[in-house]
Amino acid sequence: MNEHVSSRETKAASTRRRFLGQLGQGAVAGGAAGILHGADCSTAAGASSDGRVKRRRLGTTNLEVSEVGFGGHSWSYKRTPDGSGGYRKLTIDEAVEMIDAAMDMGVNFFDSCTPLDECTVPGEALKRLKRRDEAVISVRPSHKMKGVENDKKEVYKWTEERLKAWQIDHIDLLLLSNVAEVTPQSGYWDMSYSIEALDKLKQQGKIRYTGFGSHFTPKWFFVAFHKFGKYFDCCSMPYNVRHRVAEKVMPAARKVGLGVVTIKPFARGSLLKGRDLEGADADVPRDMVAFVLKNKAVDVCLCGVHSMAQMKTDFSASWAQISQSGYQRLEQIAATPVPHGEHCWLEEGWRYA
């Protein structure tokens, strides 16, 4: 073993020991309460108490991905107190520290959405850490898949921009995405031109695997699986204790051989608002992620995190287990509608006016 690898392993082991010291090793497993009714938890990840995030194979690809992934919004949203009453984005130095610690815990999946700093910040951090080779990097071209020739240009342009922003020579996973504003009306799941572009990019060695998805109703996922499922490697959709429509979609995805990357375990934080996260609800974020991971159809659960503390809590879901009282609390939260506002579009039956 060379010196570099050996010192990295020692550092990773010490990070894990620190995490376990801070978090405890998870409550004793309790029986599944009503919230799990209908969720497929039969191969819930086994309890592991070594503080290491477990890996799953992404669909039928050769990618071994951490079951918890680093959300791209971590870098683009202003959520860190700036010391003068406002909020700021995380800095590159903070990103370096968080990504290094996350990777020491076994996290290797890094997502990025539309804002460019979701690529530039982790890209620079991985470069400084010299850990790109350990990472699985995912980008999401946000275009509308109109089924027109111009779709190809959009995909090429987006890919080149993202390669540059991440400072990499290939992308591990490219997920065709879409914009929230058109979600319920997204009848234009015509990805035929995009597929042509993706094929060419694969031949050029610029992308390895592909997928699609975002904020869509099940109907359009089923259409896409039927028409295009065989072409792609995975799909992506929101899934959390309250917004569980994905449970209808995931089996169909699996049937056509697609892996599943879930987003929004906290409905972008709305499920955590007003909770006593310093006290009685301290385990709620971790348990929300653990709930997602218990579904055997999920390959990766992406979490948006804005501090080392949030990151440690959320990633510990990989080895912690939900207690009986934890399930009961999740059930209570899941029964409460998300208030009308930014994320109400996740609510079943909700439609844009």
Ligand X SMILES: NC(=O)c1ccc[n+]([C@@H]2O[C@H](COP(=O)([O-])OP(=O)(O)OC[C@H]3O[C@@H](n4cnc5c(N)ncnc54)[C@H](OP(=O)(O)O)[C@@H]3O)[C@@H](O)[C@H]2O)c1
Report the residue number, 51 or 71, with the smaller CB distance to ligand X.
71
Is 23 a residue that touches ligand X (CB under 6 A)? Answer: no
- The answer to whether residue 310 forms part of the interface with ligand X (CB under 6 A) is yes
Which x/- pattern over 170-209 shows residues binding ligand X (rule: CB under 6 A)?
-------x--------------------------------
CA angle 229, 290, 100 (to 5 degrees): 90
Tell me: does residue 137 bind ligand X (CB under 6 A). Answer: no
- If one asks whether residue 59 binds ligand X (CB under 6 A), the answer comes out as no
Residue number with CB closer to ligand X (187 or 274) = 274
Cβ count near 281 (within 10 Å) = 16
By CB under 6 A, the count of residues binding ligand X is 30
Which stretch in 12-20, 31-39, 66-74, 122-130 sits in contact with ligand X by CB under 6 A? 66-74
Q: How far is the CB of 209 from ligand X (least distance, A)?
A: 16
Q: Which of 108, 159, 214, 295 binds ligand X (CB under 6 A)?
A: 214
Pure H helices in the chain: 3-23, 73-76, 92-104, 117-129, 150-166, 192-203, 218-228, 246-255, 284-293, 308-315, 324-334
State residue 204 phi and psi, 5-degree precision: -80, -5
Q: Which of 101, 113, 224, 330 binds ligand X (CB under 6 A)?
A: 113
d(CA 1, CA 257): 38
| Cα 190 to Cα 211: distance, rounded to the nearest angstrom | 14
Alpha carbon distance 57, 41 (integer Å): 17
Query: Applying CB under 6 A, does 305 fall inside the site for ligand X?
Result: yes
How many other CB atoms sit within 10 Å of the CB of residue 23? 18
159 makes contact with ligand X (CB under 6 A): no
Q: CB-wise, 116 or 277, nearer to ligand X?
A: 277
Q: For residue 212, what is the DSSP state?
A: E
Contact in structure between 308 and 249 (CB atoms under 8 Å): no
Contact 263, 238 (CB under 8 A): yes
Are 67 and 54 contacting, i.e. CB atoms less than 8 angstroms apart?
Answer: yes
Q: Does 277 bind ligand X (CB under 6 A)?
A: yes
Interface with ligand X, residue 162, by CB under 6 A:
no
What is the per-residue burial (b if ≥16 Cβ within 10 Å, else e) of 119-137? bbbbbbbbeebebbeebbb
Nearer to ligand X, 206 or 264 (CB): 264
Helix (H, G, I), strand (E, B) or coil at 224: helix
> Whose Cβ is closer to ligand X: residue 13's or residue 236's?
236
Residue among 253 and 305 whose Cβ is closer to ligand X? 305
61 is an interface residue for ligand X by CB under 6 A: no
CB of 251 or CB of 274, closer to ligand X: 274
Shortest gap between Cβ of 288 and ligand X (angstroms)?
8
Judged by beta carbon, residue 88 or residue 130, the one nearer ligand X is: 88
Q: Which is nearer to ligand X, 9 or 348 (CB)?
A: 348
Answer for which of 55, 56, 140, 242 binds ligand X (CB under 6 A) is 140
Q: Which of 59, 71, 122, 229 binds ligand X (CB under 6 A)?
A: 71
- Contact set for ligand X, span 251-270 (CB under 6 A): 263-269
In Å, how far from its chain's centre is CA 72? Answer: 8
Is residue 97 classed exposed, middle or buried when 0-12, 13-18 and 19+ CB atoms within 10 A define those classes?
middle
Chain residues in the site for ligand X (CB under 6 A): 71-74, 77, 79, 111, 113, 140, 177, 214, 236, 263-269, 272, 277, 285, 302-306, 310, 313-314
